[in-house]
């Protein structure tokens, strides 16, 4: 069992001496958790040390970043990092003071490491809580190993896929942060796994200190032995990542703190370690539910909610006159790699010439500049003309690719087409040798645009019925807002944060039924400054019911509507001392904006 208590004491001491505040009395904060609407920071139903990981930055880097473009980070000791860490430490010590028992296991050891900030030099104004792949040592046995299985060896690890299939690998061949020096209890692993949806059809038990996977568990083809010595899990790591561009965007400490508290919400509630679909349920957006950080599910809204949740995950608005499904553009590079290159790269192929013309447009250096965010932003005349050229050329390329081409097995082409054209894939009727990819794509486009009309109707119903859906993102938003007063910041900063974000996105965010444009959102907000006091319902679209992230406008509206229910600031002001933390915030912001490699 890892022990964190000395570290935590050090954190609290460092905080109180750094900002010159007196040690917090237990009396004032203790009133806070009694407010019924505020969720506790730790999920009470799953208090598992396997939910969190105390990792070094180097471990996270090698596990996550090395396979993700090896981004650059602001040094730990930099004022930017220290300033952000200040707010995270302030929250951490407050939560541990208010909810001491929730952070400890039965032996009194902390199971939640102190979270740490790292700042990535990058544009995009994003922030995230980072999960990692970790190998934990525990003996595993299969109740029904495959015939001829060899005895389990000491260096094998199992992984359970999101679909519940068990795989077995040599530990030296998998990329996991190694935590096998100390064995974890089989009971703990079983309890942890039972809380995840993907193993719900796999009976788990323990026997003589080993985890036993029952006969109903689905063993993959890689399983050729009777068991394993370790298991791969996805705990949330102690590293919260902010991008320099986010610090450059936020105009104040208060709004920066909201972002950090949102990520902290993901961290303490260990969202990264659970199947997020557990969180998706539907509720009515009314005054009663807005008073709770976790609204009550409404079974009457399930039918409508499930219909919306079953829609394709990605949906973008077609441009006027557009023939192609706009996703075709997003997947253009994939189309080239998975469909055009293997099919049309030899000069003898009938699609060689038209497809080479198409890929030449893709390779034009100006192409990426014009379409970097297409179709998420409106096109100007130049971009529109280039898009038209691209679309016509693509049509000619696809018309020349025949399903059943002798050069490529039809199954390969079919799989590529499925990837490239939306998710429905070609229908059986079209899988004849005579069919071209163009014909398939045309049919899929027709289906897509027909579905759009139906989708619009469903979204209107959702708006009319005030259909809310609770996700890990909404939980993190609601917690961040409720926690702002704990670090001495007014809850209103949550609304200001989303207004800043909406202004940033104005003109970039595409208008459509999934969203109110950022511009319209800000105009609506300006006309009814306190929506919650305006005396009338101002419905704002939640966004795609297939995405955990709601529309920015809804998040702003949600924060505004909840303001009357958030406690007033309880903590004394915890302003970071300018001397120690890099001066006025404006200076730090300028420093973040000027940081290279964004
Ligand atoms: Zn989030």
More confident of the two residues 269 and 275: 269
Ligand 1 midpoint to CA 271 (Å): 9
Task: Verify that 406 and 436 share a domain, yes or no.
Answer: yes
Q: 142-154 in b/e burial notation, b at 16+ Cβ within 10 A?
A: beebeeebeebee
Question: Quick check: helix, strand or coil at residue 119?
Answer: strand
Residue 104 forms beta bridges with which residues? 110
Task: Verify that 243 and 226 share a domain, yes or no.
Answer: no
pLDDT of residue 417: 60
Task: Verify that 22 and 163 share a domain, yes or no.
Answer: no
Ligand 1 midpoint to CA 289 (Å): 21
Quote the tokens at residue 24: 């917090």
Q: Residues in the chain, how many? A: 598
Task: Verify that 127 and 138 share a domain, yes or no.
Answer: no
Ligand 1 midpoint to CA 481 (Å): 13
Q: Of the ranges 193-197, 269-273, 412-416, 551-555, which one carries the lowest mean pLDDT score?
A: 412-416
CB 397 within 8 A of CB 374: no
Task: Verify that 370 and 497 share a domain, yes or no.
Answer: no
Which residues make Cβ contacts (< 8 Å) with residue 346, sequence separation at least 6?
352, 407
Task: Verify that 229 and 244 share a domain, yes or no.
Answer: no
Ligand 1 midpoint to CA 237 (Å): 15
Does residue 366 lie within any of the structural domains? yes
Ligand 1 midpoint to CA 554 (Å): 14
Per the structure, the complete domain to which residue 224 belongs is given by: 134-233
pLDDT of residue 411: 57
Task: Verify that 107 and 249 share a domain, yes or no.
Answer: yes
Residue 211 forms beta bridges with which residues? 140, 206
Mean pLDDT of 354-368: 86
Task: Verify that 422 and 505 share a domain, yes or no.
Answer: no
Does residue 193 lie within any of the structural domains? yes
Mean pLDDT of 414-418: 58
Does residue 317 lie within any of the structural domains? no
Structural domains in the chain (count): 4
Does residue 321 lie within any of the structural domains? no
Q: Is 85 exposed, middle or buried (0-12, 13-18, 19+ CB in 10 A)?
A: buried
Residue 556's nearest CA partner among 494, 509, 506 is 494
Mean pLDDT of 582-592: 92
Task: Express each pLDDT in 471-522 by its tens digit.
Answer: 999 999 999 999 999 999 999 999 999 999 988 877 665 555 567 777 788 8
Task: Verify that 545 and 476 share a domain, yes or no.
Answer: yes
Task: Verify that 140 and 95 share a domain, yes or no.
Answer: no
The angle subtended at Cα 1 by Cα 55 and Cα 51, nearest 5°, is 55
Task: Verify that 110 and 250 share a domain, yes or no.
Answer: yes
Does residue 442 lie within any of the structural domains? yes
Residue 402 forms beta bridges with which residues? 436
Instruction: Classify 250 in phi/psi space as left (phi over 0), alpha (psi -120 to 50) or beta.
Output: beta
Confidence of residue 533 (pLDDT cuts 50, 70, 90): very low
Ligand 1 midpoint to CA 503 (Å): 19
Task: Verify that 334 and 443 share a domain, yes or no.
Answer: yes
Ligand 1 midpoint to CA 277 (Å): 15
Does residue 318 lie within any of the structural domains? no
Mean pLDDT of 451-476: 87
Ligand 1 midpoint to CA 307 (Å): 24
What span, in angstroms and rounded, lies between the C-alpha atoms of 565 and 575?
24
Q: 57-72 in b/e burial notation, b at 16+ Cβ within 10 A?
A: eebbbbbbbeeeeeee
Q: Which of 395, 424, 449 is the last residue of a domain?
A: 449
Does residue 437 lie within any of the structural domains? yes
Q: Which of 449, 483, 513 is the last residue of a domain?
A: 449
Confidence of residue 428 (pLDDT cuts 50, 70, 90): very low
Q: How far is CA 286 from the centre of its chain?
A: 26
Ligand 1 midpoint to CA 162 (Å): 21
pLDDT of residue 430: 44
Mean pLDDT of 257-283: 89
Ligand 1 midpoint to CA 500 (Å): 16
Ligand 1 midpoint to CA 548 (Å): 9
pTM (2 decimals)?
A: 0.77
Ligand 1 midpoint to CA 261 (Å): 10
Does residue 526 lie within any of the structural domains? yes
Q: Of the ranges 33-37, 50-54, 161-165, 454-458, which one carries the lowest mean pLDDT score?
A: 33-37
Q: Which of 449, 482, 499 is the last residue of a domain?
A: 449
More confident of the two residues 546 and 397: 397
pLDDT of residue 192: 87
What span, in angstroms and rounded, lies between the C-alpha atoms of 74 and 80?
8
Q: What is the widest separation between alpha-carbon atoms in the chain?
A: 82
């Amino acid at each position: 069992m890892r022990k964190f208590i000395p570290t935590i004491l050090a954190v609290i001491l460092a905080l109180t001496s750094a900002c010159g505040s007196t040690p917090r009395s237990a009396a004032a904060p203790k009133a806070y958790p009694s407010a019924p609407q505020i969720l506790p920071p730790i999920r009470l139903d799953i208090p598992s040390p396997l939910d969190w990981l105390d990792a070094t930055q180097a471990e996270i880097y090698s596990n996550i970043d090395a396979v993700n473009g090896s981004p650059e980070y602001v040094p730990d000791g930099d004022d930017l990092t220290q300033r952000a860490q200040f707010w995270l430490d302030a929250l951490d010590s407050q939560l541990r003071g208010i909810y001491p028992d929730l952070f400890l296991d039965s032996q009194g050891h902390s199971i939640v490491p102190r979270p740490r900030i790292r700042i990535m030099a990058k544009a995009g104004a994003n922030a995230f809580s980072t999960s990692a792949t970790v190998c934990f040592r525990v003996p595993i046995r299969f109740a029904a190993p495959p015939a001829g299985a060899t005895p389990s060896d000491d260096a094998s690890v199992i992984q359970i896929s999101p679909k519940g299939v068990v795989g077995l690998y040599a530990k030296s061949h998998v990329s996991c942060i190694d935590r096998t020096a100390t064995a974890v209890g089989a009971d703990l692993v079983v309890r942890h796994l039972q809380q995840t949806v993907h193993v719900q059809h796999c009976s788990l038990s323990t026997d003589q200190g080993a985890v036993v996977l029952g006969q109903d568990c689905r063993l993959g083809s890689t399983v050729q032995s009777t068991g394993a010595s370790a298991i791969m899990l996805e705990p949330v790591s102690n590293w919260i990542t902010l991008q320099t561009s986010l610090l450059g965007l936020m105009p104040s400490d208060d709004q920066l703190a909201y972002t950090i508290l949102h990520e902290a919400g993901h961290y303490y509630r260990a969202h990264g370690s659970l199947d997020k679909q557990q969180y998706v349920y539907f509720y009515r957006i009314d005054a009663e539910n807005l008073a709770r950080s976790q609204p009550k599910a409404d079974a009457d809204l399930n039918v409508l909610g499930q219909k919306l949740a079953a829609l394709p995950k990605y949906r973008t608005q077609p441009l006027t006159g557009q023939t192609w499904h706009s996703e075709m553009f997003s997947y253009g590079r994939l189309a080239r790699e998975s469909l055009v290159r293997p099919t049309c790269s030899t000069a003898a192929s009938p699609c060689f010439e038209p497809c080479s013309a198409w890929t030449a447009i893709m390779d034009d250096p100006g192409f990426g500049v014009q379409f970097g965010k297409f179709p998420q932003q409106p096109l100007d005349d130049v971009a529109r003309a280039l898009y038209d050229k691209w679309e016509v050329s693509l049509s000619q390329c696809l018309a020349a690719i025949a399903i059943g081409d002798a050069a490529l097995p039809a199954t390969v082409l079919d799989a590529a087409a499925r990837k490239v054209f939306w998710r429905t894939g070609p229908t059986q009727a079209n899988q004849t040798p005579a069919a071209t990819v163009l014909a398939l794509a045309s049919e899929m486009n027709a289906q897509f645009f027909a579905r759009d009309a139906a989708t619009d109707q469903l979204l209107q119903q959702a708006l009319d019925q005030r259909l809310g859906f609770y996700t890990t993102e909404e939980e993190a938003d609601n917690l961040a807002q409720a926690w702002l007063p704990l670090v001495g910041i007014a809850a209103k900063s949550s609304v200001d944060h989303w207004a800043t974000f909406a202004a940033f996105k104005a003109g970039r965010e595409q208008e459509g039924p999934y969203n109110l444009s950022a511009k319209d959102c800000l105009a609506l907000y300006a006309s009814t400054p306190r929506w919650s006091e305006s005396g009338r319902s101002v419905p704002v679209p939640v966004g795609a019911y297939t995405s955990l992230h709601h529309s920015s406008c809804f998040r702003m509206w949600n924060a505004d509507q909840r303001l009357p229910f958030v406690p007033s600031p309880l903590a004394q002001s915890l302003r970071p001392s300018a001397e120690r933390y890099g001066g006025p915030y404006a200076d730090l912001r300028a420093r973040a904006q000027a940081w290279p490699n964004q």
